[in-house]
Amino acid sequence: MLVRDRAHQRGVELGPYPLEALPRATKQAIADTAVPAWQAPARVSKADSTLAAAAQFYTKLFAQCATSTPAPRAPVPEDLQRRSQELKGAAYYLDAAHAGICQIPSHAWLAQDRASAADEKFALILWVRHGLPVEDDNLASQWLNGAQDAIAAMRALEIGAAITGHIRAMGYNASLHDSEDTRVNLHLLALLAGIGVNRDAQIVSPFFGADYAPVAVTTDYPLAVDTPLANQPATLQLRRSLRYWWGINGAVSGREHNRQRRRASHLSRYPMEQVKRVAEPTTLIFADEVPRVPKRAEFFQRARSGDLGPKAQQEVKRFAFKHPLTDGMMYPLRAMVAHQDGNVAEAQEDQFGDAAANARAIKSLSYHLGADLTGICEIPPYAWYSHDARGQAIVPRHKYAVVMLIDQGYDTMEGASGDDWISGCQSMRGYIRGAEIAGVMAEFLRKNGFEARPQTNADSQVLQIPLVLLAGLGELSRIGELVLNPYVGPRFKSVVLTTNLPLAVDQPIDFGLQQFCKRCFKCARECPVNAIPFGDKVMFNGYEIWKPDVERCTRYRVTNPKGSACGRCMKTCPLNKVVSADGAWLHRIGTWLGVNAGWLKPVLVPLAVWLDDRLGYGKRNPLKRWWLDLELRNGKAQIPRGTNERDLDIHRDISGKKSPVGYYHASDMPAPDSHQAVPVDHKQAIKRGSLLESVAQARARRARRGAKP
Contacts to ligand SF4 by CB under 6 A:
477-479, 484, 516-517, 520-523, 527-529, 531-532, 548, 553, 556-557, 566-569, 573-575
Cβ 696 to ligand SF4 shortest distance, Å: 21
Taking the complex as a whole, the smallest distance from the CB of residue 84 to ligand SF4 amounts, in Å, to 32
Closest distance of CB 426 from ligand SF4, Å: 11
- In the complex, the smallest distance separating the C-beta of residue 290 from ligand SF4, rounded to whole angstroms, is 22
Tell me the C-alpha distance between 583 and 680, whole Å.
Answer: 44
Q: Which is nearer to ligand SF4, 257 or 537 (CB)?
A: 537
Closest approach, Cβ 544 to ligand SF4, in A, equals 15
Q: What are phi and psi of 488, to 5 degrees?
A: -115, 5
CA distance 135 to 32: 43
3-state secondary structure of 500: coil
Taking CA atoms, 80 is separated from 1, 170, 215, 216, 357, in Å, by 33, 15, 22, 19, 52
DSSP secondary structure of 336-386: HHTTSS----SSPPGGG--HHHHHHHHHHHHHHHT-SEEEEEE--GGGB-S
- The CA distance from 300 to 312, in Å, is 9
Name which of 553 and 584 has its Cβ closer to ligand SF4: 553
Which lies closer to ligand SF4 via its Cβ, residue 77 or residue 606?
606
Least distance to ligand SF4, CB of residue 413, Å? 13
- Nearest distance from C-beta of residue 528 to ligand SF4, angstroms: 6
Integer Cα distance of 319 and 340 in angstroms: 24
CB of 570 to ligand SF4, least distance (A): 7
In whole angstroms, the minimum distance from the beta carbon of 568 to ligand SF4 comes to 4
Of 494, 413, 499, 504, nearest to 456 by C-alpha is: 494
| Closest to ligand SF4 by CB, 303 or 441 | 303
Residue among 99 and 558 whose Cβ is closer to ligand SF4: 558
Alpha helices in 492-573 (DSSP H): 513-519, 522-526, 550-559, 568-572
Q: Give just the sign of the alpha carbon dihedral 471, 477, 483, 489.
A: negative
Please identify, using beta-carbon distances, which residue of 375 and 528 lies nearer to ligand SF4. Answer: 528
Comparing CB distances to ligand SF4, the nearer of 244 and 511 is 511
Closer CB to ligand SF4, residue 332 or residue 618?
618
- Measured in degrees and rounded to the nearest 5, phi and psi for residue 123 equal -135, 135
C-alpha span between 666 and 654 (Å, rounded): 29
**Nearest approach, Cβ of 8 to ligand SF4 (angstroms)?**
20
Nearer to ligand SF4, 295 or 478 (CB): 478
Closest separation in Å from C-beta 649 to ligand SF4: 12
Annotate 199-256 with DSSP letters as a single string: ETTEEEBTTTBT-EEEEEEEESS----PPPBP-SHHHHHGGGSHHHHH-STTPPPHHH
- How far apart (Å, rounded) are the C-alpha atoms in residues 499 and 400? 5
Question: What angle, 0 to 180 degrees and rounded to 10, lies between the N-to-C axes of helices 355-369 and 423-447?
Answer: 140
CA–CA dist 183, 177 (Å, integer):
7
d(CA 675, CA 42): 55
**Residue among 626, 594, 559, 11 nearest 317 (CA):** 559
Minimum distance from residue 292 beta carbon to ligand SF4 (Å): 25
Decide whether 207 or 534 has the Cβ nearer to ligand SF4: 534
Strand partners, 353: none
Q: What is the 3-state secondary structure of 319-341? A: HHHCCHHHHHHHHHHHHHHCCCC
Q: How far apart are CA 138 and CA 357, in angstroms?
A: 7
CB of 520 to ligand SF4, least distance (A): 3
**Distance separating alpha carbons of residues 126 and 65, to the nearest angstrom:** 18
Q: SS in 3 state form for 285-304?
A: ECHHHCCCCCHHHCHHHHHH
Q: Write down the least CB distance from residue 423 to ligand SF4, Å.
A: 9
Cβ atoms of 184 and 104 closer than 8 Å: yes
**Smaller CB distance to ligand SF4: residue 508 or 574?**
574
Q: Label residue 698 left, alpha or beta by phi (over 0 means left) and psi (-120 to 50 means alpha).
A: alpha
AA identity, residue 237: Q
Which one, 522 or 537, has the nearer CB to ligand SF4?
522
3-class DSSP string for 54-78: HHHHHHHHHHHHCCCCCCCCCCCCC
- Pick 143 or 521: Cβ nearer ligand SF4: 521
Whichever of 161 and 531 has its CB closer to ligand SF4, that residue is 531
Minimum distance, C-beta of residue 587 to ligand SF4, in the bound complex (Å): 14
Q: Which is nearer to ligand SF4, 384 or 534 (CB)?
A: 534
